[in-house]
Amino acid sequence: MRNIDGGFLAAPDQASLERRERDVRKGKLALMLAVVGGFVALVAGYNVLVDFSPVSLVVTMLALAAAIGGGLLTKQLMRAVRFRVHKPNAGLVGAAKLSGMVVAVLGFIALVGSLDGPGVLRIIAIAVGCAAIGYVKTLHDQQWVLFELDAVGVRIERTVVPWRDVTRLTIDPVGPGMTRLGAVPINAAPLYVAVQDTELDQRLLAEAVGRFAPQGTQLTRA
């Protein structure tokens, strides 16, 4: 097991890591489309604010469409790479964070532009802003994901158990609108987390177990 803030206590199989890397590559093209679209939208959007022109507006709209389309495609492709259950309202909170970051980045870029700095300084400001947005997205995922399955293993909150250490997975109703998910390691205490039923699709969970878990790993009652 490992904590996502530290190293593996029992490293996963190299084959599992390679399998996950191959699967992740499938979504990189869509992610690149989203990133490039977002970058172009920031640049063109800045030009719309400081020196409006129909061309800049059209480029901004097309870039936003590419960014949104790439983001949706990335999400769809990543479903084949991992299964996640989030805390309630994770999507809304994440969208609010990203929206706030975009507004802050645009304001920062406008401030840099108002200082009559060189063009390269504006490009650096945009790159820093995009990196900050990516960091906020990664941090949000770490804080708001409760349960995750992928080719490497099972993540329960901030603890990851490689598949070779998992004997079985568990699912139990624990109250109105709540379900407890868990993993039973070979030589460690079981790990559990309660999730809201509105955040859990049990059909997708069963499909993910069949896709990612080694043959013979069962999803049972605790």
More confident residue, 90 or 171: 171
* Contact present, 208 and 149 (Cβ < 8 Å): yes
The dihedral through the CA atoms of 37, 43, 45, 47 has a sign that is: negative
What are the tens digits of pLDDT across the range 3-25? Answer: 444 434 344 556 656 666 666 66
* Average pLDDT value for the chain: 78
Higher pLDDT, 1 or 215: 215
Distance of CA 17 to the CA centre of its chain: 18
pLDDT at 37 over 70: yes
Q: Which architecture characterizes domain 146-220 according to CATH?
A: Roll (2.30)
What is the distance of C-alpha 57 from the center of its chain? 30
pLDDT for position 185: 92
Q: With contact defined as beta carbons under 8 Å apart, do 162 and 11 qualify? A: yes
Rounded Cα–Cα distance for residues 114 and 38 (Å) = 22
What confidence score (pLDDT) does residue 74 get? Answer: 72
Residue ranges covered by each domain of the chain:
2-145, 146-220
Q: What is the mean pLDDT of residues 54-71?
A: 83
The whole-number pLDDT of residue 9 equals: 39
Higher pLDDT, 36 or 193: 193
DSSP H or E stretch at residue 155: strand 153-156
- 90 band by pLDDT with thresholds 50, 70 and 90: low
What is the number of other CB atoms lying within 10 angstroms of the CB of residue 98?
16
Residue 110 pLDDT exceeds 80: no
Reported confidence tier of residue 64, pLDDT bands at 50, 70, 90: confident
Output the CA angle 182-185-188, nearest 5 degrees: 110
Q: What is the pLDDT of residue 107?
A: 74
Q: Which of 75, 81, 133, 79 is nearest to 104 (CA)?
A: 133
* Joined tokens for residue 7: 């190293």
pLDDT at 93 over 80: no
Share of the chain above pLDDT 90, in %: 21
